[in-house]
């Protein structure tokens, strides 16, 4: 059809979509050449949209590094149609939604979701980003500071530092070489010194690059496709189309920087090897999947794999392989290896083994059965994929629209089906010694480098390596038997849906014994051949001291380590397991396709039962744990504040430095002695859900009981009633503000952080909804005032907090410009400002916020994992209020504005009589002079001794040990 001024052109296309996908799709092109994908989902609670603009940081003009990213920030402020600053974000928040954006090298993606009732106006506000945004001078200056704060947050991040170093060692004339985040220096100081006005350049960049013909929009809504189309046409056809040419950045940026080994010093204590080859982008052959095939083999962890050998030698703790940092014009294949201390001493052997494995692939030829197996796994994964939140789905689809033909917008590159050995061989031929770049990170290189990367200050040195040198390394490498993987026995062949008779909406308790309790929830919603099983082992001796905590942690890591070769195939086939340390013992989680889940679970239980300490693996794990403890000091200050808050509130928690001290003297025999004690008394809380029959669930748990408790030599016995312990939470005193102040652990970090926590109550329906509503209403105003207006820091968050059923709210702010004491005073000032907003709120606005919260609570779970996590939280906390939502919705419908104000006045506002506050302040060296106590505040109590404080305060009771219920 011809495209008229007020009509859209429908472009017929049959998109590949999952077999179980009931949503309707339509592709249209607006008169301004904007390409749109419409998605109609009558069952959705949330509606969403994403706009992918085909311009990114590669288009930054020289001398204005970061302007594309800066523009991304600026579009959120205001528009000609909606001129009130921050009204877009406020509207999204008040309608139960969220919004964000990101800038990559070749595109910028903006996205949001909201409750269905608020979607039409939200979409109109969103459209104005691309029609007539207002970028005021005042907002421009403030947001440059926000961009700079984001950059300051990244300065001591090893991931950002190594990424920029790889870019630095490339052709200076290529956009890949650029610094892309932006900073005060690049967006204010340097332009001003050259007589350039950043705002003028910002407007120019927007005008010259933001054109409808290089944009791709995805809109996901409840309405019919025709209604969505009409709405989109009316809102987005005004976007200018200047027929901007599609951007291209030809040329390989690293051709003059090959055959190098770059030694660099990370911030955290670690050794890491990144072996990188520039390659032809795999996206041009996405149906042949060359990088997927090679990544699968080089990154394999089963017997005979490269990682299997490196682990056996004690040289590596993890390995990943695959294509990354790709564009349409160039790409990289990377192998990233986390090294042990011993591995750091044997890097030449490791590189030699890597190239020996690549040689094995060359000699073996491209294998059809391996490709077919991968293709079958990909097909099953695609057709039985979990439904994701609409906001994630629209971002994926809009990104795909820039890269793939319309028929593949939903699938992207995830269904390789064309077996073409020459394509795979061609990429394999690029993985040569002559084409390699090796980045070797180690704190051991400190003081042994001679160059500095200019943006992040990363120390490094460069040495040339030749093909003959790598050949020598191959010749000297250990003569280990590398071989290709065997066929995967975990690929599911039975994907049928079981017909469970008992249709229940919430978990029911199937059985209880002195050994365990089993909760069961069949899949009545998702019709997917997947299951979710969790076993929580309550072990009184598993965390009753720093030594016990560390030894339990090491034992769970060793169990994962022992199972890795066996279970890796299961992971590849979509069946996942985890054994994780908890405050009171450990958890086993198995999730994925139900067909062979029982086999994997029984193997995990067998390993737990027959556990033995292998000294060589013990020392590898001990080294890994020690590095994690030692690197705690390099955590972001806001993360340190969160840690201190938990340490102050949780009765059974141990400081990391105590555990590090204990760890240093531990030996394998200590764990050999201790493991039987950990397991000697236990109770297992079990949850089984999904495509699993009740008899199967009971059979699984019966097997666990038989193996652990009823064998010839039982490993475990039931708990005594006196051992039914739970981690309880400190009850703060009403009318008191506690303050805990600590210097940041990294003297080089200029960021300070504040965590201002207000503890409110133990789990209670009526109080819960009042707290949630205050948090919903205050969230965006807090962000706008403290971040956008006052520019305290890029990380500015107001969020709810739930510690084992103890509810509260917390402000988290990280800043280089102000110390935590000042930030805390600004939080208090905000609460006074918000007090007025709440008092003066019109009744219709109050009702709108109540309805938004109701819609958020009624939002359906998207998939089995999401549903299971929700119900498991009730089981884990001991609250067992599985029908919580309907009670809280009923309470919300009865709530009055006066009741909300009374709650705020009693618990939240400055000086509230029942307010229980804790201010955790982590200050940088640059803010140490501000660190003085508030002598004049009679309600302030400074905490000098964490454990003295914990001993001095009463604890909330625990919900643990209740018999549970389906209906309250």
Rounded-to-integer distance, Cα 143 and Cα 659, Å: 42
Look at residue 503 in the predicted model and tell me its pLDDT: 78
What does residue 712 show for φ and ψ, rounded to 5 degrees? -60, -35
805 φ/ψ sector (left φ>0, alpha ψ -120 to 50, else beta): left
Q: What is the CATH number of domain 9-236?
A: 3.30.830.10
Residue the block writes with tokens 């007020």: 6
Q: What is the mean pLDDT of the chain?
A: 96
Instruction: Tell me whether residue 72 is one of the annotated catalytic residues.
Output: yes
Asked if residue 768 has pLDDT above 50, the reply is: yes
Look at residue 258 in the predicted model and tell me its pLDDT: 98
For the stretch 334-360, pLDDT in tens is 999 999 999 999 999 999 999 999 999
Read out DSSP for 140-190? HHHHHHHHHHHHHHHTT-HHHHHHHHHHHSS-TTSGGGS--S--HIIIIIH
pLDDT-derived band at 882 (thresholds 50, 70, 90) equals very high
Look at residue 933 in the predicted model and tell me its pLDDT: 59
Helix, strand, coil content of the chain in percent (nearest 5): 45, 20, 35
Which residue among 65, 72, 150, 188 is the active-site one?
A: 72
The fold of 508-723 is: Cytochrome Bc1 Complex; Chain A, domain 1 (3.30.830)
Rounded-to-integer distance, Cα 777 and Cα 795, Å: 19
CA–CA–CA angle 604, 609, 615 (5° rounding): 90
For the stretch 712-724, pLDDT in tens is 899 999 999 888 7
Look at residue 6 in the predicted model and tell me its pLDDT: 72
What pairing do the DSSP bridges indicate for beta strands 24-29 and 9-10? antiparallel
Asked if residue 935 has pLDDT above 80, the reply is: no
Nearest to 439, CA basis, from 164, 151, 152: 164
Helices (H), 95-157: 119-127, 137-154
For the stretch 67-97, pLDDT in tens is 999 999 999 999 999 999 999 999 999 999 9
Look at residue 500 in the predicted model and tell me its pLDDT: 82
Interval 524-538 mean pLDDT: 97
Interval 325-332 mean pLDDT: 95
The fold of 736-952 is: Cytochrome Bc1 Complex; Chain A, domain 1 (3.30.830)
Which residues on adjacent β-strands are paired with residue 739? 919, 942
Q: Do domains 9-236 and 260-389+404-476 have the same CATH topology?
A: yes
Task: Collect contacts of 251-255 with beta carbons under 8 A, ≥24 apart.
Answer: 251/171, 251/174, 251/329, 251/330, 252/278, 252/330, 253/170, 253/171, 253/174, 253/176, 253/177, 253/278, 253/330, 254/169, 254/170, 254/171, 254/176, 254/278, 254/437, 255/171
Interval 121-127 mean pLDDT: 99
Asked if residue 966 has pLDDT above 50, the reply is: no
Domain spanning 260-389+404-476: which CATH class is it, in words? alpha beta
Look at residue 7 in the predicted model and tell me its pLDDT: 83
Interval 363-371 mean pLDDT: 98
Number of CB atoms found within 10 A of residue 85's CB: 19
Number of CB atoms found within 10 A of residue 527's CB: 10
Rounded-to-integer distance, Cα 515 and Cα 702, Å: 10
Rounded-to-integer distance, Cα 496 and Cα 820, Å: 57
Instruction: Tell me whether residue 143 is one of the annotated catalytic residues.
Output: yes
Question: Hey, where are the domains in the chain?
Answer: 9-236, 260-389+404-476, 508-723, 736-952
What number of residues does the chain have?
Answer: 968
Which residue among 143, 223, 659, 705 is the active-site one?
A: 143
Helices (H), 650-747: 656-664, 668-680, 694-709
Look at residue 8 in the predicted model and tell me its pLDDT: 87
Answer for the pair 595, 492: CB distance below 8 angstroms, yes or no: yes
CA–CA–CA angle 284, 289, 291 (5° rounding): 90
CA atoms within 13 A on the CB side of 809: 24
């Amino acid at each position: 059809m011809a495209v008229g001024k007020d009509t859209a052109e429908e472009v017929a296309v049959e998109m590949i979509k999952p077999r179980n996908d009931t949503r309707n799709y339509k592709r249209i092109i607006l008169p301004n050449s904007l390409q749109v994908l419409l998605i109609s989902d009558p069952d959705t609670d949330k509606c969403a949209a994403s706009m992918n603009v085909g311009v990114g940081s590669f288009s930054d003009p020289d001398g204005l590094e970061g302007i594309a990213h800066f523009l991304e920030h600026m579009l959120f402020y205001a528009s000609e149609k909606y001129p009130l600053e921050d009204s877009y974000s406020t509207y999204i928040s008040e309608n139960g939604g969220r919004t964000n954006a990101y800038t990559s090298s070749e595109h910028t993606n903006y996205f949001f979701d909201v409750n269905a009732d608020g979607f039409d106006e939200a979409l109109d506000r969103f459209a104005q980003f691309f029609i007539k945004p207002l970028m005021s001078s005042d907002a421009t200056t403030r947001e440059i500071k926000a961009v700079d704060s984001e950059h300051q947050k990244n300065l001591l991040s090893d991931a950002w530092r190594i990424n920029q170093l790889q870019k630095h060692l490339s052709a200076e004339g290529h956009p890949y070489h650029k610094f892309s985040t932006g900073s005060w220096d690049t967006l204010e100081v340097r332009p001003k010194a050259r007589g350039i006005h950043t705002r003028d350049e910002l407007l120019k960049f927007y005008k010259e690059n933001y054109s409808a013909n290089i944009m791709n929009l995805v809109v996901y809504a409840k309405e019919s496709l025709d209604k969505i189309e009409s709405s989109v046409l009316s809102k987005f056809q005004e976007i200018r189309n200047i027929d901007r040419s599609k951007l291209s950045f030809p040329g390989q940026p690293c051709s003059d920087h090959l055959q190098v080994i770059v030694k660099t010093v990370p911030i955290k204590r670690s050794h890491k090897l990144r072996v990188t080859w520039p390659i032809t982008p795999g996206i041009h052959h996405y149906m042949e999947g060359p990088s997927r095939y090679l990544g699968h083999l080089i990154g394999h962890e089963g017997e005979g794999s490269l990682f299997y050998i490196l682990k056996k030698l004690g040289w590596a703790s993890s390995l990943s392989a695959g294509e990354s940092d790709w564009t349409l014009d160039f790409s990289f294949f990377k192998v990233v290896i986390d090294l042990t201390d011993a591995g750091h001493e044997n890097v030449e052997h490791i590189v030699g083994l890597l190239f020996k494995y690549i040689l094995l692939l060359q000699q073996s030829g491209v294998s059809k059965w391996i490709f077919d197996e991968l293709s079958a796994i990909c097909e099953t994964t695609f057709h039985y994929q979990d439904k994701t939140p609409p906001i994630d789905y629209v971002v994926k689809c809009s990104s795909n629209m820039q890269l793939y033909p319309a028929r593949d917008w939903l699938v992207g590159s995830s269904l390789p089906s064309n077996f073409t050995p020459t394509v795979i061989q061609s990429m394999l031929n690029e993985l040569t010694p002559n084409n390699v770049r090796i980045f070797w990170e180690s704190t051991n290189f400190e003081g042994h480098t001679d160059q500095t990367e200019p943006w992040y200050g990363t120390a490094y040195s460069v040495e040339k390596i030749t093909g003959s040198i790598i050949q020598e390394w191959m010749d000297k490498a250990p003569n280990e038997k590398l071989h290709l993987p065997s066929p995967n026995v975990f690929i599911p062949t039975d994907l049928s849906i079981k017909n469970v008779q008992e249709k229940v909406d919430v978990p029911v308790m199937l059985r209880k014994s002195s050994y365990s309790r089993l909760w069961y929830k069949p899949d009545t919603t998702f019709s997917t051949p997947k299951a979710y099983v969790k076993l929580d082992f309550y072990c009184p001796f598993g965390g009753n001291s720093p030594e016990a905590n560390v030894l339990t942690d090491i034992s769970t890591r060793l169990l994962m380590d022992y199972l890795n070769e066996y279970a890796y195939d299961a992971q590849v086939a979509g069946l996942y397991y985890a054994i994780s340390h908890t405050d009171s013992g450990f958890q086993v989680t198995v999730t994925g396709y139900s067909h062979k889940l029982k086999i994997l679970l029984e193997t995990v239980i067998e390993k737990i039962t027959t556990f033995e300490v292998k000294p060589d693996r013990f020392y590898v794990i001990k080294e890994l744990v020690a590095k994690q403890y030692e690197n705690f000091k390099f955590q972001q200050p806001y993360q340190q504040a969160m840690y201190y808050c938990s340490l102050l509130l949780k009765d059974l928690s141990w400081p990391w430095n105590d555990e590090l001290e204990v760890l240093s003297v531990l030996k394998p025999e200590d764990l050999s002695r201790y493991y039987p004690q950990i397991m000697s008394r236990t109770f297992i809380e079990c949850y089984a859900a999904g495509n699993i029959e009740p008899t199967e669930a009971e059979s699984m748990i019966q097997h666990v009981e038989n193996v652990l408790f009823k064998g010839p030599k039982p490993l475990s016995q039931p708990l005594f009633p006196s051992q039914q312990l739970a981690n309880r939470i400190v009850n703060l005193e009403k009318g008191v503000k506690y303050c805990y102040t600590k210097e940041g652990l990294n003297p080089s970090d200029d960021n300070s952080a504040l965590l201002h926590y207000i503890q409110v109550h133990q789990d209670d329906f009526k109080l819960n909804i009042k707290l949630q509503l205050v948090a919903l209403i205050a969230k965006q105003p807090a962000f706008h005032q403290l971040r956008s207006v006052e520019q305290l820091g890029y990380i500015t968050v107001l969020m709810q907090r739930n510690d084992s059923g103890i509810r509260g709210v917390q402000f988290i702010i990280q800043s280089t410009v102000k110390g935590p004491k000042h930030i805390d005073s600004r939080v208090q000032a905000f609460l006074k400002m918000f007090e007025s907003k709440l008092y003066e709120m019109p009744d219709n606005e109050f009702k709108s916020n109540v309805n938004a919260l109701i819609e958020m609570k009624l939002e359906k779970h998207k998939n089995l994992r999401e549903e299971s996590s929700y119900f498991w939280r009730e089981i884990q906390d001991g609250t067992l209020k599985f029908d919580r939502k309907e009670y809280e919705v009923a309470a919300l419908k009865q709530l009055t504005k006066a009741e909300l104000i009374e709650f705020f006045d009693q618990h939240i506002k400055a000086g509230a009589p029942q307010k229980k506050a804790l201010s955790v302040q982590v200050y940088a060296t640059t803010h140490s002079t501000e660190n003085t106590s508030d002598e004049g505040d009679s309600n302030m109590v400074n905490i000098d001794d964490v454990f003295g404080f914990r001993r001095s305060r009463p604890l909330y009771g625990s919900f643990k040990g209740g018999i549970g219920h389906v209906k309250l």
